[in-house]
Amino acid sequence: MELLEYEKFAISLARKAGEIMLRHFSPDIAVELKSDCSPVTLADVAVNEMVVSEIKKAYPSHGILSEELPEVKGEGKLVWVCDPIDGTLPYSLGIPVSTFSLALVRDGEPVVAVVYDPFLDRMHNATEGKGAWLNKERRLQVSTRELRGSLVAVRKPDSAFDALREKYSVRNMMLYSYVYGAMLVASGKCTATTFTQKNAWDVAAAKLIIEEAGGQTSDLDGNQQRYDRSVNGFVGTNGVSHDELLHLINDSP
């Protein structure tokens, strides 16, 4: 029952986050650049502040790892990992391809996850052992396609995907919202997704939702990893293509 209570709480936060995202959504929204030159808007900050405030109020002993505010150290093994707006670049340009992403991580392993697309009112969620769902109505299921001729969502192009295009005629799609692409894998529309950076908030929710939809995940070396700290990239697939994709990633110059 405890995990289901956390799931209900996470979904309620996602709804509130979506309201903030929609309220501020405009191609004229002010944008600032962070130290790494990535964009941030007042909506990112407002969502992040709301999430941290609500978690501190409901679960004061839990830790919080979020993109826009300093890490909150908890007293136990439970950490909420949040990306307030995944896809700030398209969001700031008035392009509706971004999501709110939140996972509850227990001892390094995501056990509750929500990813919300407020523009199409699509709530993706998963709880450990309970499957992955869209709007609590349709169960998500990864595809059974092999790599050849399939669609792959990538964070950025690199030599591995040059090899994919040449060997498998794979179509690569860059959305500038990593989590959005990962949900396409969970729903069977894409075969795989890769992430080469270290931010846990970009992949914690994606890991659980893809796995509960029947897929497979790992770091870039094919290993399991913790999701309450920096990660070694991420690979999420339908399982059919996982080993082959890892081989291409690690053998490419």
Instruction: Examine the fold and report which residue of 139, 172, 197 is the final residue of a domain before the chain moves on.
Output: 139
134 and 158 inside one domain = no
Same domain, 158 and 83: no
In the structure, what pLDDT confidence band is assigned to residue 69 with cuts at 50, 70 and 90? confident
User: With helix as H, strand as E and coil as C, how does the chain read?
Assistant: CHHHHHHHHHHHHHHHHHHHHHHHCCCCCCEEECCCCCEEEHHHHHHHHHHHHHHHHHCCCCEEEECCCCCECCCCCEEEEEEEEECHHHHHCCCCCCEEEEEEEECCEEEEEEEEECCCCEEEEEECCCCEEECCCEECCCCCCCCCCCEEEECCCCHHHHHHHHHHCCEEEECCCHHHHHHHHHCCCCCEEEECCCCHHHCHHHHHHHHHCCCEEECCCCCCCCCCCCCCCEEEECCCCHHHHHHHHHHCC
64 domain-assigned: yes
Domain edge (last residue) among 79, 110, 139 = 139
pLDDT in tens, 223-238: 999 999 999 999 999 9
Q: Say how many domains are in the chain.
A: 2
Of 110, 139, 168, which residue constitutes the final position of a domain?
A: 139
**pLDDT, tens digit, 9 for 90 and up, residues 110-157:** 999 999 999 999 999 999 999 999 999 999 999 999 988 899 987 655
pTM of the model: 0.95
Confidence at residue 133, expressed as pLDDT on a 0 to 100 scale: 98
Confirm whether 145 is domain-assigned.
no
Query: Residue 253 pLDDT more than 60?
Result: no
Residue 190 shares a structural domain with residue 213: yes
